[in-house]
Amino acid sequence: MDGNMLIEIIKGGLPILNSTVSAIAGAVVTTLFLRKNTSTTEFEKIKAGKFKDVIDSLLDSGKMSYLEYYKCKNFLQIAQKADTMCDEENSTEQEFRDFDWFIRFYEYASNICNEEMQILWAKVLAGEVQRPNTTSVTLLHTLSMMQQQQAFAFRNISRFALMDIKGDFAHLLLFISTNRESYEREAITPTILKELERLDLLECTFSDEYIFMKKKIFKTGNKVITVYGDPENQGKIKAGNVQFTKDGQLLYSVLDEDSKRYRGDILDFTITKFQRRNCRVVINDREIR
């Protein structure tokens, strides 16, 4: 019996907020810890969502070590948080083609006991449940190495990202090379950015800038921001020194909206930077001068 079959069997007996998350958690626990000689009672507890009863019983019977208990408890706490993040009304039945992903998730996430970091891991799990096969294993590996202050730093810089007009890509607009002191007041330094680059969440170039050509359209809230390139420099739009990697995009996508809210003062600063690069800026069909 493979993991996907276990998910379907367990899902049928879970009367909770979002059966998919608990079915996955149950399938992981069953796969890793239940043996052929495990009583039917334990499996029925899994189907009923009584995970703590099961792992307590396995620990008491000597079928689970204290380390395994610690890791399983962490994983179940994360799964419980993810369960509350999933939107049951808008969810659809999905085929989880890669149950191995959830086993990998367990291997990495089960070492996380910090509450704030568990919330971040729960967002990643909820995202994969709602959009199957979209979250890379490399992002799980990155998160497993990430310290709490690095997670806070990533969330902090995410305030400076504007969404592409297509809505599926975030553009970080950080002009570190020319405004280092301004960003340091926001707790953003080259050292912090390089740490996140080593985690493969960012790409940084402090000697030059990333370039858009001719025209670029962003959006934030109800604002559509169109930037036209410098006509005296082949239509180039110099767009700062930092951009998200593919995994950085994935992590950005699971952050809560408060973390990604683009403040008015940041927008004003960004517009000024583009204008000083001889670019025209239009917001909702009104040119900014």
Which residue has better confidence, 282 or 95?
Answer: 282
Between CA 29 and CA 103 the distance in angstroms is 10
* Least reliable range by pLDDT among 29-43, 84-98, 179-193: 84-98
Between CA 263 and CA 280 the distance in angstroms is 21
> Which tokens go with 15?
């009367």
How much is the pLDDT for 5? 55
Between CA 219 and CA 236 the distance in angstroms is 20
Q: What are the pLDDT digits (tens) for 82-104?
A: 988 886 544 444 555 578 899 99
pTM of the predicted model as reported, rounded to 2 decimal places: 0.85
> Which tokens go with 198?
């080593």
Angle subtended by helix axes 99-109 and 66-85, to nearest 10: 120
SS3 (DSSP) at 172:
strand
How much is the pLDDT for 7? 55
